[in-house]
Chain A
Amino acid sequence: MIRAVQLQRRFGRFEALRGVSLQAAQGEVVGLVGPNGAGKTTTLRVLAGLLKPSGGYAEVLGARTDSPEFRRVKRWLAYLPEEVMPYDNLTGRAFIEFIHGLYGVDNMKEAVELSGLGPHVDDKIKTYSKGMRRRLVVAALLTVGARVLLLDEPTSGVDVLHAVEIRRAVKEYARGRGAAVMYSSHNMLEVQTICDRVYFIDRGVVVDSGTPAELLQRYGAADLEEAFVKALRRHA
């Protein structure tokens, strides 16, 4: 459902991606792990059709992301950018209506329930904490009926209890709806818990990939964090 082949992307002289290849199948949660500036967000932006690759190509639901046909696919794609913040002067409910309106769906009840905002959903977003804002955006996007989810740090700023809820919701979404999920995170425990497969990315290339169990075994590591550090050292 998601496939990238030798993706390259330059910004001026800077090579953000130098040949990233990866894929995610139906019902699969795939982790993207790497240090800051490794190319995770650029990869997700290319997969979302926001950036055109300088080389290689990416396909989502069978359509190349730089082709005119990709417009049709976007109905089934939901991308959560890392730094996005909902509008201060809208209520949580109005923001969900806005997102659902873009996709032509009306799934308010499920979104409110998933957000965990309760009665605060009718408060203005400027009264929300950072975690509440993040939960609101995640809930709005997880209820548009997408078949492909691109999630960039979905639990960033969210407290532990709600982060667990979001992870559970994403996992259930992938399993229940057969969606392909690309999940970028700095939280190794989170990646180890939720992801079926993991890609280690550094300086614009994939340095290793596999299931969390395979990576632990390959590097003789106690956890994914240790495996990640060893992979980067070996690659360096």
Chain B
Amino acid sequence: MGVLSALIVKDLREILTSRYFLVSLVGGFVALVALGAVMGASIRETATGMQKFAVVVNNTTDLGMRFVEKLRLYGGELYTSFSPDLLRQYSYVVVVPQNFTFPARVEVYARYRGLMSVAAPSALNAAAAEVAREVGIPPRLLNVTTRVYIDGARLTEADVSVLFSLFMLSWAFMIVVPLLVAATAAVAMGVEKEKRTFELILSTPATPNALIAAKLVSSVILALIQFAVMAVGMVIYLSNVVVIKTSPTAAQPFTLSISLSPSLLAPIALSTLALSIAVLALSLLVATRTEDVKTAQSVVPSVVLPLLLPALAALFAPVDALEKYPFVHPLAIATAAVFGRWDKVYLYLAVDWALAAAAVIAVSRLMTAEYLVAGGRRRQ
């Protein structure tokens, strides 16, 4: 027992006094709290948006009127005719047909505000379920057709399909690629720290800038290889999801578009590459403060993850509220490219590459031989 307690106490003393453990502990806590705050704000905003919607009804059945009454309880405001102007005031407009009966076909006109806006609003199914329960028939008898509008123009189903695909693709680019890059950089730098090879390399003709450039290039290549493998897996995954979504009971069959043109994909890739370089530069810098690979692998993602929280939230929140944040740019650029807003595409690409250049310059200025060997800054 004495030996066991001595070993346990030693481990606790060693780990609890490790600043890396404390950083990852505090970092994880802060990341979790921040994610909760961002997600909560997004969901509240979405929920608030859903409380206000328009219901267009003009001479419908009794069952239809009961459905309308339920929708009013969920925040629906009544109108007698539809006009695209309603979409400026409301997130979506529900049109109740004159011959409303179960199973009902309901059209919803939605303003494009991100991925959530192309899905059927939950209030409709909830209202339909309540009506169905009251009249004693099985629920889930509502077939919603969503018509999505953006800037007053209606999207075709093919547009929505491309948007959905782009959303999934750019979301993966925004989250997966930067995290892969950060993890790869952590390993690349952690190995040098663990093996004490910085001294060896920097005493040769290799300069610190050459070392950083090599780490940037090799980490991007390794991350791209990892991403390529994951992308294949993701396509297989999404193709399986599509099979499920196209089942007859689905509210709205989205299909994965395979006709994403290079002119759409190239800006997403360029934006992601720029942001990855910025993340990489930061990750390399953070990893130099660790002592081995394992520490680097735990500390670096905990520093990078908070930067990506808005990108995580972009799945739930209106994109236009977040798109100025650089790490949401792949998605913002994808959306802008779909609708031909090339001025926005070029602006965001310029911002992304400026950020990447600034990060690389800052890191190369900071990471001198002295910094890498002794952990200090260049003596003035």
Task: Mark A residues whose CB is within 8 Å of B.
Answer: 11, 45, 48-52, 54, 71, 74-75, 77-81, 83-87, 99, 102-104, 137, 150
Knowing A45-B373, A84-B195, the reply to whether A50 touches B202 (Cβ < 8 A) is yes
- Nearest CB in chain A to that of B195: its residue: A85
Q: Given the known A-B contacts A11-B374, A11-B376, A45-B373, are A50 and B203 also in contact in the complex, defined by CB atoms under 8 Å?
A: yes
B199 interfacial by beta-carbon distance below 8 Å = yes
Check if A87 sits within 8 Å of B197, measured CB to CB. Answer: yes
Pick the 7 closest A-B CB pairs, nearest first. Answer: A79-B203, A81-B199, A102-B204, A48-B203, A83-B196, A85-B195, A50-B373
Chain B residues with CB below 8 A from A87, complex form: 191, 195, 197
Q: How far is the CA of A45 from the CA of B376 in the complex (A)?
A: 14
With A11-B374, A99-B204, A102-B204 in contact, is A50–B369 under 8 Å at CB? yes
Alpha-carbon distance between A221 and B364 when the two chains are bound, in angstroms? 52
Minimum CB–CB distance from A94 to chain B (whole Å) comes to 14
Asked if A51 meets B203 with Cβ closer than 8 Å, knowing A81-B196, A83-B196, the reply is no
A88-B170 Cα distance, complex, nearest whole Å: 37
Closest B-chain residue to A75, C-beta based?
B205
Interface residues of B in 361-380 (CB under 8 A from A): 369-370, 373-374, 376, 378-379
Give A98's nearest chain B residue, CB to CB. B201
Closest A residue, CB atoms, query B201? A102
What residues of chain B lie closer than 8 Å to A45, measured between beta carbons?
A: 199, 373-374
- Does B204 lie within 8 Å of A74, measured CB to CB? yes
Q: A49-B203, A50-B202 are in contact. List 19 more A-B contacts (CB 8 A).
A: A11-B374, A11-B376, A45-B373, A48-B199, A50-B370, A50-B374, A54-B379, A74-B203, A74-B204, A74-B205, A79-B199, A81-B203, A83-B196, A84-B195, A85-B197, A86-B195, A99-B204, A104-B205, A137-B200
Are B369's CB and A49's CB within 8 A?
yes
Contact in complex: B376, A79 (CB < 8 Å): no
Complex contacts, A79 vs chain B, CB 8 Å: 199-200, 203
For A16, give the chain B residue with the smallest CB separation: B374
B188 CB to closest chain A CB, in angstroms?
Answer: 11
Cα distance, A86 to B206, chains bound together (Å): 17
Q: Is B373 a contact of A51 with CB atoms below 8 Å?
A: yes
- B293 CB to nearest chain A CB (Å): 10
**Considering residues A49, A50, A74, A83, which has the most beta carbons from chain B within 10 angstroms of its beta carbon?**
A50
Q: How far is the CB of B13 from chain A (nearest CB, A)?
A: 24
Contacts A84-B199, A102-B206 given; does A51 touch B191 at CB 8 Å: no
What's the nearest-Cβ distance from chain A to residue B211, in Å? 10
Interface positions, chain B 326-380, Cβ under 8 Å from A, are 369-370, 373-374, 376, 378-379
Interface centre among A51, A54, A71, A86 (most CB of B within 10 A): A51
Q: Is B207 an interface residue (CB 8 A)?
A: yes
Inter-subunit contact A84/B196 (CB<8 Å) = yes
Chain B residues near A86: list those with CB within 8 A. 195, 197
CB-CB under 8 A from A150, the residues of chain B are 203
Question: Who on chain A is nearest to B372 by CB?
Answer: A50
CB B291 to nearest CB in A, in angstroms, measures 12
